[in-house]
Amino acid sequence: MALRLPDRWIWDSWYVWDGDVCHAFYLCASRGLGDPERRHRNTNVGHAISRDLVSWEVLPDALSPSESPAFDSWTTWTGCTVKGDDGKWRMFYTGTSRETQGKVQSIGAAISDDLITWHKLDNPLVVADGEHYEKVGQVGHDGNEHWRDPWVYKQEGSNIWHMLITARGRTRGEKHSGVMGHAVSEDLKNWQVLKPLSDSDSSFANLEVFQYAEVDGVPLIIFCCGWRELNDELLAAYGKVDYTYSVPCSRNLEGLDFRGAKPFMPGELYAGRVIQKPSGEWFFIGFVNFRDGKFVGELSDPIPVTATFEEGLIPRL
């Protein structure tokens, strides 16, 4: 595997290039916890660098939870890293707090000049709007407020930054109501939460770890979902397998329909990301989820990929 830590599990990851150096940020937790399910409430954001996506040098962790009271006093979960128009790097990430017993998810940010030393900004920047999204206290199937995994990007030629967010629509507690949340900003500081970019009948209870990418000219949304959160139709089609999915889309994301999503490769990789090398080739890296019924928790070697408008993301032969 490309990155395995002897003392810690790794799962969700995200990547950014600075010149010819790729920076990987990833969720990690001590194997000393014993039960890998405990990792979700004992997270740090780890950091490693590579020039080839295969050999990685592990650096000091980027983020840890804050002291109470804070929106991220319990966990620092999945995010993304972008370079702003001011030349500074920003890491957007999900936080949960001990003050809300971890039920409320919010999105905050940290800022850096060098991708090494990070300084958190005060308070969450983006929170769910109850007009469009399920909130704690509303009728919901699991009692949690889903608002996480921000993916931030800007289309070429545009002044507007977009944030895609794992969320649930207001559908009176129906389980399979995962939606793509949406917020916009001109400065990466002030965000306006808009209505979802997808309908609430997505067939998925959660659309997790979004990424927008144009792979070899094909605009795609990439996301993941565990098999326990599929509706009966998808479960019958794909079985009891946790997949990363892709769905071709328009560049402005109009008419996005996740019911047309297809899984990428059968196997054990989850929460995958596509990464474009400076030379132009695209690769896929996910974390090894379960093997022989046991959680593994390490990052895969890069898999060459391309895309078509008919099939979405596919292996590049």
Query: Which residue type sits at 317?
Result: L
Counting the structural domains of the chain, the total is 1
Q: What's the CATH number where 226 sits?
A: 2.115.10.20
Q: Give tens-digit pLDDT for 246-261.
A: 999 999 999 999 989 9
For residue 87 the two structure tokens come to 């030349």
SS3 assignment, position 24: strand
Residue 168 lies in a domain: yes
Cis peptide leading into residue 278 (ω within 30°): no
- Helix/strand/coil for 114: coil
Report which of residues 190 and 202 the model is more confident about. 190
Q: Nearest to residue 167, comparing CAs of 202, 192, 137, 125?
A: 202
In a domain, 3, yes or no: no
Distance of alpha carbon 267 from alpha carbon 181, whole angstroms: 28
Per-residue confidence band for 164, with pLDDT thresholds at 50, 70 and 90: very high
Average pLDDT estimate for 106-132 = 95
Residue 97 belongs to some domain of the structure: yes
| Residue 298 belongs to some domain of the structure | yes
Tell me if 1 is assigned to some domain.
Answer: no
Helix, coil or strand: residue 155: coil
Inside any domain, residue 12:
yes
User: Can you give the pLDDT at residue 122?
Assistant: 82
What is the domain extent for residue 263?
8-315
In a domain, 2, yes or no: no
pLDDT band at 172 (very low <50, low <70, confident <90, very high): low
202 or 5, greater pLDDT: 5
pLDDT in tens, 71-100: 999 999 999 999 999 999 999 999 999 999
Query: Quick check: is 133 in a domain?
Result: yes
> Which structure tokens are listed for 190?
């002030």
Average pLDDT, the chain: 94
Residue 1 has pLDDT above 70, yes or no: no
For the cut 80, the answer to whether the pLDDT of residue 20 exceeds it is yes
**Terminal Cα distance for the chain, rounded:** 20
Task: Find the range with the poorest average confidence among 128-142, 150-164, 287-301.
Answer: 128-142
User: What would the pLDDT profile of 55-79 be if each residue is shown by its tens digit?
Assistant: 999 999 999 999 999 999 999 999 9
